[in-house]
Amino acid sequence: MATLGNPKNTIEVLQKYNFNFQKKFGQNFLIDTHVLDKIMKESGITKEDMVLEIGPGIGTMTQYLAEAAREVVAIEIDKNLIPILEDTLSEYDNVTVINEDVLKVDIRKLSEERNQGKPIKVVANLPYYITTPIVMSLLESRIPIDSITIMVQKEVAERMQEEPGSKEYGALSLAVQYYAKPEIVANVPPNCFMPRPKVGSSVIRLTLYEKPQVEVSDEKLMFSLIRASFNQRRKTLVNGIGNASNLNISKEQVMKALERMGLPPTIRGEMLSLEQFAELSNLL
């Protein structure tokens, strides 16, 4: 089987199987070998690694992963792609394809069974409609993971990497940065995919910390505070948290905590760093 990462070979496979793209599954297949080489280089995969690929499509990147890694587990939701993957990956005996929704798979169990619970690497050209749930479930699960190297919508990559004070900084930036160091490693234009997405894309690598970046006594409370602070962007932090019905924290309590932190009562959530949200949460 020829490598798939170019338009000609991809079209050939699609025609052979009479495959129809399903919009609801966010199917945009990579057709650019330079982008594939770049993702492979940045993911730092070695022959020791077990790699989890989310959404292999017709197996374009899976072929590269199978060459570089010890073992690949690829989870694909679309059953119409399974016979295609059997064909395009037939040369590899180190790839397992699972026909399932990635959000329903027990990835911890997979890593325990196939990698003795040692850290795995995740690589994917993600379906954009569920980027955040996939990334957050991987991070929050505390499954041993070294790094997550993923293609996502450009704006989402930027949001993950943003610092306090910028327009795109928000709950996703804080959640990602609590668990991992984000680095955008490539920008990828729509013409590198088939069909072309309407938005620009970026490859971002999240290198997971062994321990979260800040010490916080109640993680759940901190993330509830973060969500409340960014729910109403134009509101001050005091109003955002004070008005959140799920929190039961008064505006006076928030003001007192801010005062102890040396911050003005009019400050907005987007000005606070992760360390400051942790401190606020610990005070409250």
240 binds ligand SAM (CB under 6 A): no
179 binds ligand SAM (CB under 6 A): no
186 binds ligand SAM (CB under 6 A): no
Q: Which is nearer to ligand SAM, 94 or 239 (CB)?
A: 94
Q: Which of 13, 19, 30, 214 binds ligand SAM (CB under 6 A)?
A: 30
Cβ distance 62 to 56 under 8 Å? yes
How many residues in the shown chain lie near ligand SAM by CB under 6 A?
A: 23
Q: What is the SS3 string spanning 239-284?
A: HHHHCCCCCCCCHHHHHHHHHHCCCCCCCCHHHCCHHHHHHHHHHC
Question: Please, which residues bridge with residue 203 across strands?
Answer: 151, 186
Distance, in Å, from the CA atom of 258 to the CA atom of 268, rounded to the nearest integer, reads 11
CA atoms lying within 13 Å on the CB side of residue 122: 29
Distance, in Å, from the CA atom of 20 to the CA atom of 282, rounded to the nearest integer, reads 52
191, burial (CB in 10 Å: exposed 0-12, middle 13-18, buried 19+): exposed
How far does CA 265 lie from the centroid of its chain?
A: 34
Q: Which of 50, 61, 85, 97 binds ligand SAM (CB under 6 A)?
A: 61
Minimum distance from residue 44 beta carbon to ligand SAM (Å): 19
From residue 95 to residue 134, the character string flagging contacts with ligand SAM as x (rule: CB under 6 A) and all else as - is ------xxx---------------------x-x--x----
Q: Which of 49, 71, 76, 279 binds ligand SAM (CB under 6 A)?
A: 76
Q: Which is nearer to ligand SAM, 29 or 277 (CB)?
A: 29
49 binds ligand SAM (CB under 6 A): no
Distance, in Å, from the CA atom of 55 to the CA atom of 26, rounded to the nearest integer, reads 10
Which of these ranges, 19-27, 89-97, 153-161, 248-256, lies near ligand SAM under the rule CB under 6 A? 19-27
Beta strands in 3-44 (DSSP E): 29-30
Q: Which is nearer to ligand SAM, 196 or 233 (CB)?
A: 196
75 binds ligand SAM (CB under 6 A): yes
Contacts with ligand SAM, residue ranges (CB under 6 A): 25-30, 54-57, 60-61, 75-78, 81, 101-103, 125, 127, 130
